[in-house]
Structure 1
């Protein structure tokens, strides 16, 4: 691994004279030379170490202090294996000696010998040791900086620190370290920058991905295909497909060839915007350029067509997928089953489920929830109950979506009492019914003119600090008033108005 130097990068690009950066000098950290007893201790410890005489070293453990530990490390710094073994020995025998300064020294030794994995493990351990110590990242950077020249280190040490923050998903600390590195003339490798951008993506921070990308480009760090794939993905997530395409078209000029992942990302961006014709055309262009669509490509298109209710075209993609010997997987079938569920075609969804079983494709909770919802939307609660039993056979537990679908099924059958029992079971199981489920149940009680039941659901909603839509409330108020419960209606109106001042709670005009 090679870490770029800001000065060299800018000089090579002819931009050094134009930059306003004023690089800070790397400080010369020093420690006093050992004398007398300290010198004797260091020399004896050194002799035991180079002769691998760990038994004799045991007798010195009680006399080891940070000053002596540092000097022993300096004497053996050219032997990274021995240095690392000594560090691990001290960690067991005298863990109190592992200060930021002594740990920085072993990190220097390891990174200089390109043992980045071991160095990264130590750095992540330090940074994870105290989440309440907000100054720790700054103090660690300073410890590494001040021992840099003393240990005759390499720039890779700063790259390792930056990457440690990235892997821990400490975005603020990573970007702060990036700026500090830059101040002293060091930049992380593009691989480490990619690690940070990947963490940003996993935390759904596409905005900072783009901001950080602009920063590294200003610094002269050259992206690779993984960098650009993440930038394209960030633009797509922020619904800026046009900017994603700009990056895509610029890749050739940058000497970077798009990969299957590049095409898949833009195809997904098109599908999310409903631009399915463009998505299909891009898949064709991908094949013309010698890249084979993967299950991700086909699944993305199938999901896109299903989301738009275009199930015939989704099935054409499935046929093409099979023709090209790309095996449909759980995601493929789930997208199609859910598509049929949304379109009110439970039988076709169930046929796909049977296909999954015949072909040995694994089912998951999403498969069963899509089937349960499909049957429940059509009021086929017995078939839904059968699927719930299958869920149990697979050792899969019902989740919030399962309960919501079952409640809907009972409401469709105009059986709000049974639906309310499921509603209560859902809450007892640790799930919170959402607004849509609660409102549908309230409306079902009102349809049956069971306004007491509707009030029970309303009270459950209020416990969760959730207020129903004004249209549902209006139906409830009208029903209560028509049945001589004006006082209860007024009481509930006042309670809701106190909690939700902007909520419309009045009964409709008769």
Structure 2
């Protein structure tokens, strides 16, 4: 297990978070120059705007679009972005109609849109909580008006335009949540963080769901320590404008550290959650249990299990799979079976993972018959075993009943579940065939292996060389040894 002291802390962000007050101020301005931004300038052709709005609001839906085309036919000057923005603003109380008009102008090429016209429709949709439509347009605007590829200290242009048009459109901060999500969906972490930091400098924070998504994305792409830094930076240990970390925030951090094998940090995050008086959920307990089970600290895992019950939380399938897998890993398969029976008694449906844990546990204990009973149970329930489970079963069958029984089992599994055996499965069977002197059968299996796209490696060559040496066929052994050295100069890493 990697110790905390050996894990290097990574520097992720180079732009410092501006110091800011965490008072619950209700003002929204992000930039002092934009706090009193004026509406877009009126078009010189006010009649065009007025006539279009009248057609959209009062004419029949079937005729309105042809009449709009007659006002601004394609390949003419058509509507300007300013025209479109003014029309959409007058349709703010009918956002679906505003969106249809905007899409109509794109489809019929009657407006060469700008970021401002995109910002207007995005605001109108966001203030009406039309999340998916607004998010889609934000992503379209980002693609249509890309910022410079080079990192820039300046905010993205779409962010600046959304800020400038915010008050004119009577928008809601929700629009910036969507902008951050759009950049996260595009895996543009630095831009997402930059926007969060600019908002934070004005004491404005995204919804906790967006904050959690950002922390999770950073954990997956840059590691748990970077995610923890982002968590501390966003929440800063205080409640800000109703935004406060929740159990899912801590779940993300604990899971990230657990996947890196840093159990000490999993415990630290758990303690921090307790200190914040944040009630853990069932998944929180399961992650902590999993960390202890992975570290083979089953006594600690049992304390967590019991604490769940004391808190009145029902053990779900994730919790059961975790504790069953933990006992199987340390060779206490009888304890694992006790929890399995308890799970069935409490009406919790098992999963393929449950049975695979138990199969692995029985195989580790050499109980091949019990493992095969569980495998048959798995088949009856319609589960498909993982390749690793097939390998484990094949190996114990080899030990108890011989390699041909194992080969027969693997063939049956492949046919029943329509799965392709792994390279490791072939390696196991070929090695055992060579050990027992069945060289012709091993060669046939190796040909099949080649047909599946698996090239022979050091283990395969070594199995054949040892087999031929054991049979006294030094010529074939030497030929294979030379072939191996020409193709594989050193053992596979």
1:172 matched to which residue of 2?
190
What runs of 5+ residues in structure 2 fail to find an aligned partner?
Answer: 1-17
Partner SS, residue 97 of structure 1? coil
CA distance in 1, matches of 2:99, 2:48: 20
What does 1:2-401 correspond to in 2, within 5 Å?
10-12=22-24, 24-25=31-32, 27=34, 28=37, 31-35=40-44, 38-52=45-59, 53-59=64-70, 60-62=72-74, 63-94=78-109, 97-127=112-142, 134=149, 138-203=156-221, 205-218=223-236, 220=240, 221-358=243-380, 360-366=381-387, 367-376=389-398, 379-401=402-424
The CA deviation at 1:252 is: 4.5
Partner SS, residue 251 of structure 1? helix
Q: Residue 8 and residue 433 in structure 1: after superposition, are their counterparts in 2 closer, same or farther (change >3 A)?
A: same
CA distance in 1, matches of 2:257, 2:186: 24
Aligned residue pairs: how many? 450
CA contact (8 A) 2:124 2:171 kept: yes
CA contact (8 A) 2:251 2:284 kept: yes
CA contact (8 A) 2:254 2:266 kept: yes
2:14 matched to which residue of 1?
none
Q: Residue 75 and residue 284 in structure 1: after superposition, are their counterparts in 2 closer, same or farther (change >3 A)?
A: same
CA contact (8 A) 1:368 1:387 kept: yes
CA distance in 1, matches of 2:300, 2:194: 40
CA contact (8 A) 2:73 2:110 kept: no
Q: Residue 314 and residue 100 in structure 1: after superposition, are their counterparts in 2 closer, same or farther (change >3 A)?
A: same
2:481 matched to which residue of 1?
454
The CA deviation at 1:279 is: 0.6
CA distance in 2, matches of 1:81, 1:68: 18
Q: Residue 392 and residue 174 in structure 1: after superposition, are their counterparts in 2 closer, same or farther (change >3 A)?
A: farther
Q: Please give the per-residue CA displacement for 1:407-440, whole angstroms capped at 9, x wherever unaligned.
A: 3443443446654654554454345667666666
What does 1:485-496 correspond to in 2, within 5 Å?
none
Q: Please give the per-residue CA displacement for 1:171-225, whole angstroms capped at 9, x wherever unaligned.
A: 2332222223334553211111112233345557323221211111227441011
CA contact (8 A) 1:375 1:381 kept: no
Partner SS, residue 141 of structure 1? helix
CA contact (8 A) 1:368 1:391 kept: no
Q: Residue 169 and residue 390 in structure 1: after superposition, are their counterparts in 2 closer, same or farther (change >3 A)?
A: same
The CA deviation at 1:352 is: 1.4
CA contact (8 A) 2:80 2:113 kept: no
CA distance in 2, matches of 1:427, 1:375: 24
CA distance in 2, matches of 1:329, 1:161: 38
CA contact (8 A) 2:290 2:322 kept: yes
Query: How does the TM-score come out when normalised to structure 2?
Result: 0.79
The CA deviation at 1:373 is: 4.0
Query: How does the TM-score come out when normalised to structure 1?
Result: 0.77
Q: Residue 90 and residue 239 in structure 1: after superposition, are their counterparts in 2 closer, same or farther (change >3 A)?
A: same
CA distance in 2, matches of 1:405, 1:111: 59
The CA deviation at 1:353 is: 0.8
Q: Residue 430 and residue 213 in structure 1: after superposition, are their counterparts in 2 closer, same or farther (change >3 A)?
A: farther
CA distance in 2, matches of 1:204, 1:424: 42
Alpha-carbon RMSD: 3.5
CA distance in 1, matches of 2:230, 2:220: 15
CA distance in 2, matches of 1:96, 1:444: 77
CA distance in 2, matches of 1:428, 1:176: 51
CA distance in 2, matches of 1:432, 1:133: 45
Q: Please give the per-residue CA displacement for 1:72-117, whole angstroms capped at 9, x wherever unaligned.
A: 2233234322212212222322287344332222111111222223
